[in-house]
Amino acid sequence: MAHEHDHGHHHHQIDPSTGDARVAWAIAVNMALTLAQIVGGILSGSLALIADALHNFSDAVALIIAFFARRIARRPSDPRMSFGYGRAEVVATLVNYTTLVVLAIYLMYEGVMRIVQPEPIDGWIVVWIAVLALIVDAVTALLTFSMAKASMNIRAAFLHNLADALGSVAVIVAGSAVILFGWTWVDPAVTIVIAFYILWHVRAEITGAIRVLMLGAPPGLDPEQVAAAIEQAEGVDSVHHVHLWSMQEREPALTAHLVIAADAWPAAERIRVAVGQVLQDRFAIGHTTLEMERAGQGCKAPARFGHD
């Protein structure tokens, strides 16, 4: 079995210590905001404000998980964890999205109950606390925006904050409706809207984390196209038992059985190297493991992808 491994990918990255400091600051401001919103929600009687507080608390928890996942992911590989710890961030992503789903369901339930049994609301407290929340959400989003581009884990935390910023806008609208028209029903209605918005975001993003954990092919790569490119290489008869997956969020990897034409067998090693180069150049697959077989002497009736 032969192996090609190239870490030639160069993504724009923020220094880890700088990134950790940003996340730590984001955690601190979100915890402070959560406390302010809970107090304001209790004093004003606003369910939407309390809902926004719980969402902000989930932001803080998401950022705490993201913070420790980032640190774990930087650990080097060892004999017991030979693939390294990079997937800690993907696991954190799934945990964060799962908590969002639970939170959204809870908010929908509370919103419906408040519509059935309305309670008085102090609109001015709601508006002022929601404005403060919007400012904090914007600051937190700015702290994590550039990091979210390169990390599924940080992107999950960033989307927590983005959804919460929009939730704060909705709460401002709800408080204004109470002040101007006395419409207390807008408050629980906004709560339900926030919950549906959270679920919509989760649906759009959670599949990526599940795909990585389930060893699915990276979304930007067509397995058949990759296999066809291998077979187009000079001296290659066919390829089978192809496995294409992501070791981490942005590290595609491939293992396969490479069948070398009988008359090209003396040049098998050169062909293997050439195939690895094609995979690197065309598909940015830098971690490749190829087992070579001579045509007519390899596996019998093998599966093209995966194993029988």
Q: Please compute, for residue 267, the number of CA atoms within 13 A of its CA located in the half-sphere on the CB side.
A: 11
| pLDDT value of position 281 | 93
The per-residue pLDDT string of the chain (308 residues; one tens digit each, 9 = 90 and over) reads 555 444 334 344 445 555 667 777 777 877 887 888 788 888 888 777 777 777 677 667 767 777 777 778 778 888 888 777 777 778 877 887 888 788 888 888 888 888 887 777 888 888 888 888 888 777 777 766 666 666 666 666 677 667 777 777 888 888 888 889 888 888 888 888 878 877 887 787 788 888 888 888 988 899 999 999 999 999 999 999 999 998 876 789 999 999 999 999 999 999 999 999 999 999 999 889 999 999 888 788 888 998 75
Angstrom distance (rounded) from CA 142 to CA 162: 10
Q: Which two tokens stand for residue 191?
A: 């709560």
**Is the distance from CB of 280 to CB of 7 less than 8 angstroms?**
no
Instruction: Find the largest Cα–Cα distance for the chain.
Output: 86
* pTM exceeds 0.75, yes or no: no
Q: Taking the mean position of all CA atoms in its chain, how far away is CA 208?
A: 6
**What is d(CA 184, CA 294) in angstroms, rounded to the nearest whole number?**
76
Query: What is the pLDDT at residue 237?
Result: 93
Domains of the chain (ranges; CATH) run 12-213 (1.20.1510.10), 223-294 (3.30.70.1350)
Contacts of 64 (CB under 8 A, 6+ apart): 27
Alpha-helical segments (H) within the chain: 16-44, 47-73, 88-116, 123-148, 152-181, 186-213, 223-231, 268-283
Amino acid, res. 104: A
